[in-house]
Amino acid sequence: MTGGVDLDRTGPALLFCPADRPDRFAKAAERADAVILDLEDAVLPAERPAARAALAAHPLDPARTIVRVNPHGSSDHTLDVEAALAAGYRTLMLAKAESPAAVRAIEALAAASGSPRIGVIALCETAAGVLAAPQLAAEASVAALMWGAEDLLASLGGSSSRYPDGRYRDVARHARSAVLMAAAAHGTAAIDTVHLVIDDEVGLAAEARDAAASGFQATACIHPAQVAVIRAAYRPSPEQLSAAAALLARAAGEPGAFRFEGRMIDEPVLRHARALLERAEHTVW
């Protein structure tokens, strides 16, 4: 992808910003690792023309900016894509992605505009989208998959994605896992969804730590105060890094599986350690 967001290197905290609030664009860019300028749920339909105009009038760095466009087939979709491309953005988040055809439609619009190759973040937030996650991840232009809990439950006819104690319901947990595995199976990135309770730093930190440990590259958020919590959750501790380095150093002298500090070590465990060190080395915090 040319000029787009590289989720392996930008950092883990992706901050949503309403596209009709250009007064917030620069502040969001300063505080987060990447900004998601939202033309969909955060903007009333009547305000979307002004929001599209704001993309070009208040430019941000395309290497750290994602534009969420309305679903394929909606009245705003083509206008959103064309406005984002005209403003120089190359990473588009497709709301309610449900089929490879929707991704290819964005590719066709980009080709018609003469834009360089783009990256699409397929947002799997409906039942159809979660089931189509493997097919979406297989598309060459798909740079990442993300899942969404609230629209998913709405598509199921449900009323809440979480139990009263804050834990996700099983169907939401299933969707999260399914999207992560589909992304990994096709070598693309996965983004964890937002934590809607802004003041719940403990819950956000726990979910972000789990996301990092499970293999997500980033977590989306809705408020600048959540950025530091997500960064801290994804950042390996000095103790973790030291232990991983010691393990790999020991492995260099071992021909196969071996015992180390009371554990049986084989190749999958070594891959865990390498992943931890790579996250620390290649991510800008």
What 3-state class would DSSP assign to 154? Answer: helix
- Based on the domain organization, do 51 and 188 belong to the same domain? yes
Quick one: 253 and 130 in the same domain? no
Q: Are residues 246 and 152 in the same domain?
A: no
CB 20 within 8 A of CB 47: yes
Determine whether the annotation assigns residue 125 to a binding site.
yes
Cβ–Cβ < 8 Å for 273, 244: yes
| 151 is known to lie in a ligand binding site | yes
Answer whether residue 34 is part of any domain.
Answer: yes
Task: Say if pTM beats, i.e. exceeds, 0.75.
Answer: yes
pLDDT per position as a tens digit, 228-267:
999 999 988 788 888 888 888 888 878 888 888 888 888 8
Name which residue leads in pLDDT, 193 or 242.
Answer: 193
Q: What pLDDT sits at residue 73?
A: 96
18, 112: one domain: yes
Residues of the domain holding 254: 238-282
In a domain, 8, yes or no: no
Q: What is the pLDDT of residues 60-98, one digit of tens each?
A: 999 999 999 999 999 999 999 999 999 999 999 999 999
Structurally, the chain folds into a number of domains equal to: 2
Assign residue 104 the CATH number of its domain: 3.20.20.60
β-partners of residue 123 are 146
Is 107 flagged in the annotation as binding?
no
Answer yes or no: is 1 within a domain: no
List of E strands, the chain: 13-18, 34-38, 65-69, 91-94, 119-124, 142-147, 189-192, 218-221, 258-260, 263-265
